[in-house]
Structure 1
C-alpha cells in the first residue's frame, strides 16, 4: 500500500476511490461556502444596515476561531482519525448555519446573532480544514499532490463561478436570511459524502512518533510551530502569506462595501463579479500543474504574489459608473481569481511534499491560525479605514501591502523551489 502511494509514476488522482470520495465531499463544501458568502454580505450590508466598522467586525469574527482554536485543532487532528473529524465538522457547520433562517423566521435575527453563528461555523471550519489537508497526502502519491490539489482547486473555482450568482439569485428570490438555508444544506450533504469515504484505516490514523509517554498537546503545538518557522523555504512562504492575508482580508471587506454601497451594484451582479474570479480561477487551476512543472512551484507562487497588487489596483481605479465601474471590477476579479487558481495547488503541493506526515496537521494549523489572525486584523483595518479615509485610499493602502507580501517571498529561497528537489520527508 505504501509502495503504491510513493510510486514515482503518477496517475489521475480521481481514479483513486478514496480521493474521489474526498473530492466529492470537499466540492460540495466549496459550493456551500460560495453561496453563503453572497448571502452573508447582502444580509449584513443591505438588510441589517451594518456600518463600515461593523462589516469589518463581522468579517473578522469569521476568522477569529483560527486564532482561538486553530493550533489546538491541528495538534488534535494529528492524533485523531481524519474521517470522523470531517464528518462531524461538516455536520456541525450545517446545523449552526441553519440557525440564521430560523432566527429570521422567529423575528430574532440581529448582527450579534449573525456574528455568533458565523463564529461557531468558523470553529467547525477550523477542524474541517485541518483534517482535509492532513488526509490528502494519505490518499494520493507524493508525485500526485499538485494534480490532486489542482483537482480540488478546479472544483473550488467552479463553485466560485456558479455559487455566487446562484446565491445572489436566491437572495433576490428568498431574501438573504432564508437563502443561507441552502448553504447549510450543502454542508449537511457534504457530511454524508465524507461518511461514505472508503479509505484503509491506516491512512487516517498515522500518529506522531512516540516519546516517553504521551507528549502534551502544548509540546505538539511547539513542535509544529518550530518546524514551520525554522524551515529554509516554508518560513519565508509563511511570512509572505501572513502579510498577504492582512491585505486580502481588508480587500474583500472593502470590495463588498465598494460594490454594494459605493457603486450600488445589486446582489445578483455582485455575485456575478465574484463568479468571474471563479471562471478565471478554474483556468488557473487547470494549468497549475503545467505552470508548476515549467517554473517550479516556488516561482509559481511568486508570480501570483506579483500579480495580486495589479488586480486590486484595478478595483481602486474603478469609476463610479454603473457600466465601466462594473467592467473594472470584473477585470480585477478575473485576474485575482486566475492568480489564486494556479497559486494554491502549487503552494499546497509544495508544503505537503516537504512536511513529514505526522506534522501535517500541526504545520497547516500553525499556518492557518497565523493567517486567519492576520485576516482578523485585515478585516478590522479594512472596515475602519474605509470609514475614515474612504474607499479609494483604503484600496491603495491594500495594494501596497500586497506588494510587500510579494517582495518578502520574491527575495527568499522560495525562488526556484521545486517539490522534486525537496528531501523526501520521513513519516
Structure 2
C-alpha cells in the first residue's frame, strides 16, 4: 500500500483554496491538458528508473558479489532508511516549495548518483560499500520526489478528477513495474551491473526533461491563504516553520479517523512486505534456481496486474463502495503470496505459478493503492497535501528498514522457505486492521476535507 506510494495554482472549487485556476479542465479533458501529460510522462520515466534500480542493486549484490541474507537485508534497509529519516521533513519542505522544482532537482541528482555508480562499476569499484551509498542517496531523493509529485498532481487537477488522475498516474507506475524489473534483471544477467545502473540514470534524465517542459505557473497553496490545522477549525492558524509545520501534518492525520486507519494498515503491510521481499529475492534464485532474467520477469509480472488494478480502481469503488473494495482487495492480494513457499524446483510449472502469484498480487495491491490514495487526497486540504502524504509515508513505510533486517534474520535462522511463510503470513494483518476501522464503512462517494470524524 503506497502512502506505498501524488502544477498550478489551486482551484477555487477546492474547499481549502482561495484562488481560481482557469487552467483546470473538466474531468473528461484531463488527457487534453498538455501539462498533465508532461507530469504523467515525467512521473512514468522516474518510476521506471526507480523500479529498475530497486532490482539492479539487490541482484548485483546477490548474483555478482554473492551477498548473504544478512547483507542483502542491510542493503535494502539502507535504501529504505531515508523514508524514516526524511519523510516528515520532505512534507514540510514540499508544502513551501514549488513541487516542480523539487521533482526536477531530485531527478537530476539521481541521474548523477547512478551515473557515478555506473562509472565506478566499469572501473571495478562497485562493491557493497558503494552500493550502500548509492542505495541511500537514491532512496533519499526518491522520498522527496514521491511526496512532491503527489502534491503537484493535487494542485493541478480538480477534486472530482482525483480518481481518474490517480488511475492514470498509478497506471504509469504499473508500467514501470513491468519494464523496470524485467529490464534491470535482463541487463544484469546479459550484460553487467554498470550497464543496468546506467539505464536507471537515463530514465531519470528523461523525467528531468519532461518535467522541465511543464509551462503552467504554480502557486504554493500555503502562500495563497492560511491553512487550518483541523478541517473543522473555526479560526485558521498561520503556517509555522520547521517543527511546527511538521506538527501540523501530524496533528491533522491524528485527528482524522480515516487517515489514522490508513497509517496503521500501511505500517503493518510495509513491515511485513519489506521482510517478505528480502526473503523472496533470495528464495527465487537460490531455492527455485531461477536466473537473474527470470527473476526480473517474475517481479515484472506484478506490472500487468497493477495495470488491471488501476483500471478496476477507477470503477469498482464507485460501484461497490470504497470500504468493501479496500478490505476485499487486500485479503486477496496479500493472501496470494502465501502460495509461494509451497513451490519447488525450477520447472515451467513453477515459473508459471510464480508469474500468476505476482500478477494477482499486483492487481489487488494496486487496487488498494489507488483507492487509499484517493481517500487520503479527498479528505485533505490542498495546503496540507505534502505534509499529510509525508506523514503517512513516515508512519506507514518507516518500518520498512526494520522489515528488511527482520526478513534477513528470519531467512538465516529458519531457512528461506520457513522465513517466507512467516513474513507472507504477517501481511494478512493489514486487511484485518482495515476491516475493523472506519475505512471499511466508506461508501461510494468519498467525504470531503471538512467531513472529519
CA distance in 2: counterparts of 1:157 and 1:411, whole angstroms: 29
State yes or no: 1:58 paired with 2:75. Answer: yes
Pick closer, same or farther for the CA change 1:281–1:43 going to 2, 3 Å: same
In structure 2, the partner of 1:93 is 110
Contact 1:44-1:55 at 8 Å conserved across structures: yes
Write the distance in 1 (CA, Å) between the matches of 2:378 and 2:312.
20
Q: What is the CA distance between 1:221 and its match in structure 2?
A: 0.7
d(CA) in 1 for partners of 2:444, 2:144: 26
Shift of 1:178: 2.3
CA distance in 2, matches of 1:198, 1:45: 44
Q: For structure 2, which runs of at least 5 residues remain unmatched after alignment?
A: 1-10, 14-19, 228-235
Structure with the higher helix share, 1 or 2? 1
Q: CA RMSD in A?
A: 2.2
CA contact (8 A) 2:55 2:181 kept: yes
Residue 2 of structure 1, CA deviation: 3.1
TM-superposed deviation, 1:41: 2.3
Q: Residue 207 of structure 2 is aligned with which of 190, 194, 205?
A: 190
**Aligned equivalents of 2:201 and 2:450: distance in 1?**
38
* Preserved CA contact (<8 Å) 1:82 1:204: no
Contact 2:318 2:445 in 1 (8 A): no
2:84/2:399 contact within 8 Å kept: no
The two structures have a TM-score, normalised by structure 1, of: 0.94
1:284 to 297, 306, 309: 309
1:109: how far off? 1.7
| Residue equivalent to 1:354 | 379
Q: Please tell me whether the aligned partners of residues 58 and 76 of structure 2 are also in contact (alpha carbons under 8 angstroms).
A: no
- The question of whether the paired residues in 1 share the 8 Å contact of 2:178 and 2:303 is answered with yes
What is the match of residue 38 of structure 1?
55
Match of 1:129 in 2: 146
Would you say 1:173 and 2:173 are equivalent positions? Answer: no
1:404 and 2:429 correspond: yes
Is the CA contact 1:298–1:347 (under 8 Å) kept in the aligned structure 2? Answer: no
The answer on 1:105 being equivalent to 2:122 is yes
4+ aligned runs moved over 4 Å, structure 1: 3-9, 203-208, 210-214
The equivalent position to 1:155 in structure 2, one of 159, 172, 195, is: 172
Whole-Å Cα distance in 1 between the matches of residues 61 and 78 of structure 2? 13
SS at match of 1:50: coil
Deviations 1:177-210 (A, max 9, x none): 3211010111012011111112232267756727
In the TM superposition, residue 338 of structure 1 has moved relative to its aligned partner by 0.5
For 2:265, the equivalent position in structure 1 comes to 240
Equivalent-residue separation in structure 1 for 2:345 and 2:369 (angstroms): 32
- Whether the aligned pair in 1 keeps the contact of 2:222 and 2:239 (CA below 8 Å) is no
Task: Select between 357-366 and 369-378 the one with higher mean Cα deviation.
Answer: 369-378
On the 8 A contact 2:375/2:446 being kept in 1, the answer is: no
1:144 equivalenced with 2:161 (yes/no)? yes
Match of 1:333 in 2: 358
| Conservation of the 8 A alpha-carbon contact between 2:163 and 2:314 | yes
Residue deviations 1:227-253 (CA, integer Å, cap 9, x gap): 112211111121011000011111111
1:49 pairs, out of 59, 62, 66, with 66
Which residues of structure 1 form unaligned runs of 5+?
none
Shift of 1:15: 2.0
Deviation at 1:415, TM superposition (A): 1.3
Counterpart of 1:2 in structure 2 is: 12
* Partner secondary structure for residue 264 of structure 1: coil
What residue number does 1:316 align with?
341
Partner of 1:83: 100
The counterpart of 1:376, out of the listed 391, 401, 410, is: 401
SS in 1 for 2:314: helix
Number of residue pairs matched by the alignment: 426
The match for 1:230 is 255
Larger deviation, residues 208-217 vs 167-176: 208-217
Shift of 1:38: 2.7
